[in-house]
Amino acid sequence: MAAMVLAATRLLRGSGSWGRSRLRFGAPAYRQFSSGGAYPSVPLSSPLPGVPKPVFATVDGQEKFETRVTTLENGLRVASQNKFGQFCTVGILINSGSRYEAKYLSGIAHFLEKLAFSSTDRFDSKDEILLTLEKHGGICDCQTSRDTTMYAVSADSKGLDTVVGLLADVVLHPRLTDEEIELTRMAVRFELEDLGMRPDPEPLLTEMIHEAAYRENTVGLHRFCPTENIAKIDRSVLHSYLRNYYTPDRMVLAGVGVGHEQLVECARKYLLGARPAWGSGAAVHVDGSVAQYTGGIARLERDMSSVSLGPTPFPELTHIMIGLESCSFLEGDFLPFAVLNMMMGGGGSFSAGGPGKGMFTRLYLNVLNRHHWMYNATSYHHSYEDTGLLCIHASADPRQVREMVEIITREFVLMAGTVDVVELERAKTQLTSMLMMNLEARPVIFEDVGRQVLATRSRKLPHELCALIRDVKPEDIKRVASAMLRRKPAVAALGDLSDLPAYEHIQAALANKDGRLPRTYRLFR
């Protein structure tokens, strides 16, 4: 006990024997370099003298594994991108979607999305497909857009042969039984009901702005199945569509995390010479129409007061989306438009903010920070192989719709004005950062590879895109914005539209230098 008390006393007092014991057995009692005393004249930006030079990993800006593309005898393209890891993502992308339904019942692509990974010639049910994938730790998904249908599987790379065989069976040999079609009808009805009831109006407004911008053609056709067509779509209608659009020359088999030769071998085994369930006749009714931008307005009067009830109900809002034609993703101006969209940015008025949340974008600085009554102001850019659409979506109380529309038109007009170098560099950096961050995910790489090869038969690598983004100048932004403002606007309006300005007034505001709406006078209000 006396020894313990003596040791504690020495510790508290800092006795010489304790100091000597530290010097003898442990680290030194003090470190000269921690206070800068040893190198008083060396700034923090310079390396310390006598310290070995560090060796860092170097990057030459090139991807070590570039995308490889092989075209088979039947026209099918096989594209792969190597990536280290145990798992791979493999899928089939098809040049098919709602834009090709002009000669068919609208909603076929929507039906096919819901019917994906159902029973086939080899698999009796969807459960059997999922159990097969489960053996390789796999998951599956199908997504359709206006111009692309994508069937994808992520699984262990060792199961590549099984995965490609399953994908070929799902795409080319679906049974499309009466029971499956009836279940799909129920799923489509539910999705349409949910679309009309959800508090977030963005999917519905996106559908409406395309309908207004491309009246009754290509990307302006309904992406969701209209209610009146649900009962009309059956197996014969689906087979008629599949016969024309599910052909090898319109397909890409893409894989990430797999060897190219192995993927080509699997494609030859399962997709070369395969006879689909709808027959192997030549496609005769393929729609090659080019998108025709028309401009116009799509209005939907709706009571939004009870869209979200509860203890804290969502306020009644009117939603407006105004868009102008931009360009296709194949054109050289695509990246200046992408930078412009990032520069506009925006979001909700209650965003958490922080790095990357767009708090320095124009729609935050000029709109949400100055007009407290606006709930949302967000920029969107939709781009296709033959056209594009740059939109601004805004939400506010129905009594302030006119003022909200004028604020949006003013922001559109200001796009063609002076571009600050700092905001442009910030937008370019943010776009580059977002691109590189997204391309860290294997499924995103897969979709990028598939879509680029489907559209251009090749792929631009990330370092090439980053170089093009860095080359965007302020005059490029001004040029593309000025050209965009010469087109007719597309307008989508949802909610209480009693104070919505006339379409002609919105068009006139975009033609004015200050973006203001023409003054209107009412004798009675």
DSSP character at residue 365? I
In terms of Cβ atoms closer than 10 Å to its own Cβ (0-12, 13-18, 19+), residue 439 is middle
**Paired tokens of 514:** 């200050």
Q: Which two tokens stand for residue 44?
A: 């923090």
Pick the CATH number of 68-272 from 3.40.50.720, 3.40.50.20, 3.30.830.10, 1.10.260.40: 3.30.830.10
DSSP H or E segment with residue 399 = none
By CB atoms closer than 10 A (0-12, 13-18, 19+), residue 202 is middle
What pLDDT score was predicted for residue 358? 64
Segments in the chain below pLDDT 50: 1-2, 4-34, 352-356
CATH code that applies to domain 296-511: 3.30.830.10
Neighbours of 440 (CB within 10 A): 8
Long-range contacts of 65-70 (CB under 8 A, 24+ apart): 66/461, 67/449, 67/453, 67/458, 67/459, 67/461, 68/260, 69/453, 69/457, 69/458, 69/459, 70/260, 70/264
Burial class of 258 by CB neighbour count within 10 A (0 to 12, 13 to 18, 19+): buried
**In the chain, what are the domain boundaries?**
68-272, 296-511
Question: What is the structure's pLDDT at 223?
Answer: 95
Q: How far is the C-alpha of 417 from the C-alpha of 45, rounded, in Å?
A: 40
* Total residues found in the chain within this entry: 525
Q: What is the pTM of this model?
A: 0.85
Q: What are phi and psi of 425, to 5 degrees?
A: -65, -40
Question: Quick check: 299 and 500 in contact, CB under 8 A?
Answer: yes
How confident is the model at residue 213, as a pLDDT?
98
Closest CA to 330 of 457, 145, 456: 456
The pLDDT, as a whole number, for residue 307 is: 75
296-511 matches 68-272 in CATH topology? yes
Q: In what order do the strands lie in the sheet with 149-156?
A: 68-71, 77-81, 251-256, 87-94, 149-156, 139-144
